[in-house]
Amino acid sequence: MHQTVPVAERGAPPSAGGSGGANGAEQANVVKMVSENPVIVIGTRGCCMCHVVQKLLQGLGVNPPMYEVDEADQADVANVLSLNILGASAATLQFPAVFVGGKFFGGLDRVMATHISGELVPILKDAGALWL
């Protein structure tokens, strides 16, 4: 099952997430999702690289949720994740960003490199994303 969680529901009432930029509740939501899911992919809406990461993980048997960020909210969400997950001294994230076990794992290049080297499956098992 594919799960996509948009940052803002367009046309939704303000109590349901608003229709403007990423507000504090939405920013807290993305940090909460990172901590609650063994694997999560965060990227901009319609990003082909995000799709590649998601399909690679699905091919391994992982069904990661995809948190889609509007281009207008990209900087805000990246800053919130950088401050809350990586620490204040870390550089700002770029999308797609893959989080494994509540920690930043990397982007498409890191996912592909660890998959090719055979290291990705054990990492996913340790995070509880794979049981086999």
The answer to the question of residue 110 being in a domain is: yes
Which residue type is seen at 71? E
What is the rounded distance in angstroms from the CA atom of residue 4 to the CA atom of residue 14?
A: 20
For position 121, what pLDDT does the model report? Answer: 94
State the total domains in the chain: 1
| Segment-wise mean pLDDT, segments of 10 residues, the chain, 132 residues | 46 33 67 89 90 94 90 84 71 84 91 96 92 74
DSSP state of 37: -
Beta strand segments in the chain, E? 4-6, 39-44, 66-69, 97-100, 103-106
22-31 confidence digits (pLDDT tens): 566 676 788 8
Looking at residue 99, what is its pLDDT?
93
Look up the CATH number of the domain holding residue 25.
Answer: 3.40.30.10
Asked, for residue 132, whether it belongs to a domain, the answer is: no
